[in-house]
Structure 1
Amino acid sequence: MESLTKKITIDRSSPVPLYFQFAQQLQSLIESGDVPPGTRLSNEIQMADEFGLSRPTMRQAMQHLVNKGLLARKRGVGTQVVTNRIRRQVEFTSLFEDLERDGRRPSTQVLSVETVPAGAATATALGLEEGSPVLSVDRLRLAEDQPIALLHNFLPEGVIELSAGSLAEGGLYQLLRRSGVVLSSAEQTIGARRATAAEAALLDEARGATLLTMTRTAFDGSGRPVEYGSHVYRASRYAFEMTVSAH
């Protein structure tokens, strides 16, 4: 495409691999908004010819950006720039609060609210005996009407009374605070894995797509665990950010 040939320059004398030069410059154009979300790119063969690159080099560059969640290949459509990913600072807030703060119009589909026996991981996180009754809450979180995350939360009995209606209107942490629970700290782990068929269907992703994972145990002011969450997020639309400092 003509606009890209004017904005991307390949330096064949540089030690930087050609695919990475192309991918890095296209990434900068995408992140700056010069190539906006939804832009449909030419096919790889045509783009390789336009930039004087081999087809394997162009394929490697495009795959690099697909892996980073900046491009998506869709059958019958071609390669497109994806919608800007939601970037979330790793801090003690709920996803609903973060989306609301960023003006992303969060909404919730409540999949289930029920009392179930605690499994081993849940019981350990909440300091309960395995099989103890816990409140289980499953939700699909959307941002601007697009699915972003599947949220699975477990709470000890008696911490709060929840209904599907209240969960659809706000975030779980907001409801806990309103009920008088003082949230003071949390332990969390971030990872990644492949989506199951059911998860992919709910999140509008391809089967086996990469999902980000987060498990979190939240504690009240007395150090009592009051909530355990096991969540998955679309890696194509979502990223965690954190700031680290040297001491």
Structure 2
Amino acid sequence: MARTGDPARAVTAPALDRLDFALDRSSPVPLYYQLARQLEAAIEHGVLAPGNLLGNEIDLSVRLGLSRPTVRQAIQSLVDKGLLVRRRGVGTQVVHTQVRRPLELSSLYDDLEAAGQGPCTRVVRNETVPASAEVAAALGMTEGTEVTVLERLRGTHGQPVAILCNYLPTGLLDLSTARLESTGLYRMLRSTGMVLHSARQSVGARTATAEEAARLDEQEGAALLTMRRTAYDDTGRPVEYGTHLYRASRYAFDFQLLVRP
């Protein structure tokens, strides 16, 4: 049972055997929030893995020395974030971790792989099309010039995370569908000897259309993060323009802000 201000060990639910909870009743921070943050941290750091069971609310409240409404509120906050799910006859189960990506020039595939998230890719479009005015401006070419467009559904742990749409000058490299489904686009670019030097990027948000929601396993109108990026090589040449959609329930950008001297 949890003691005020002291680490408490849950010893009966297998997934919680690895956790030490520190719940401080004298703190102005609500107990449900303390519990939710500690459970979220355990999920983010892999201490609680997808599929792990936490037990039901009654057992958790007894084992942690908390009221049932407090435990229910903590769990519901993580259910709302998409980190936990309640299953009838099973209890509360970890679904997945949220992807937290540093805002730097890297690919989603490499970031997922580095975090041990097991990236998977399905290519839904790989063809040559005339560049629209937007794409032509981003890639520094004349409107109507042929470009290669790639559309991919990127996921992890069997769950979709993002819809990625990329435009590249034709003939830049071999963009076979099989290879695109086994590795990341930036890794493929680097394999040709290209040095990716910098990028211009904007991040925004909007709601999902019915089609986007179906592909991302979300409800229509769910929040999506948007990203537009133009990447340049070390000669200053634009080599890729991307317009991407990410599930806000599964994905976040991490920023580091520096004060100018």
One of 153, 169, 172 as aligned partner of 2:185: 172
Provide the TM-score with structure 2 as the length reference.
Answer: 0.72
Distance 1:173 1:28, change over 3 A: closer
The equivalent residue for 1:52 is: 67
Corresponding residue SS for 1:92: coil
* Cα pair 1:69 1:235 within 8 Å, conserved: no
The equivalent residue for 1:235 is: 248
* Cα pair 2:44 2:98 within 8 Å, conserved: no
TM-superposed deviation, 1:188: 1.4
Structure 1: 5+ residue stretches without partners: none
1:220 maps to 2:249: no
Distance 1:233 1:17, change over 3 A: same
TM-superposed deviation, 1:152: 0.3
1:2-17 equivalence runs, <5 A: 7=21, 9=23, 11=25, 14-17=27-30
One of 126, 132, 140 as aligned partner of 2:153: 140
Corresponding residue SS for 2:104: coil
TM-superposed deviation, 1:164: 1.6
The equivalent residue for 1:163 is: 176
Corresponding residue SS for 2:168: strand
* Cα pair 2:96 2:157 within 8 Å, conserved: no
Aligned mates of 2:103, 2:190 — CA distance in 1: 20
One of 195, 208, 223 as aligned partner of 1:182: 195
Counterpart amino acid of residue 67 in structure 2: G
> What number of residue pairs does the alignment pair up?
243
Aligned mates of 1:30, 1:147 — CA distance in 2: 18
* Cα pair 1:10 1:22 within 8 Å, conserved: no
Counterpart amino acid of residue 150 in structure 1: I
The equivalent residue for 2:107 is: 94
Corresponding residue SS for 2:135: helix
Aligned mates of 1:234, 1:38 — CA distance in 2: 20
* Greater Cα shift, 72-81 or 221-230: 72-81
| TM-superposition CA deviations, 1:46-82 (whole Å, max 9, x none) | 98898436x5x77764453344443346799775433
1:106 maps to 2:119: yes
Aligned mates of 1:45, 1:119 — CA distance in 2: 58
Corresponding residue SS for 1:169: coil
Counterpart amino acid of residue 52 in structure 1: S
TM-superposed deviation, 1:219: 0.8
Distance 1:129 1:48, change over 3 A: farther
Structure 2: 5+ residue stretches without partners: 1-9
* Cα pair 1:110 1:138 within 8 Å, conserved: yes
TM-superposed deviation, 1:44: 7.3
Identity %: 53
Aligned mates of 2:27, 2:102 — CA distance in 1: 35
Distance 1:36 1:125, change over 3 A: same
What's the Cα RMSD here? 3.6
| TM-superposition CA deviations, 1:156-214 (whole Å, max 9, x none) | 23433422233223222222233343322111122333222222322333333333322
Aligned mates of 1:66, 1:172 — CA distance in 2: 33
One of 70, 76, 83 as aligned partner of 1:70: 83
* Greater Cα shift, 24-33 or 108-117: 24-33
The equivalent residue for 2:5 is: none
TM-superposed deviation, 1:42: 6.8
1:115 maps to 2:139: no
The equivalent residue for 1:150 is: 163
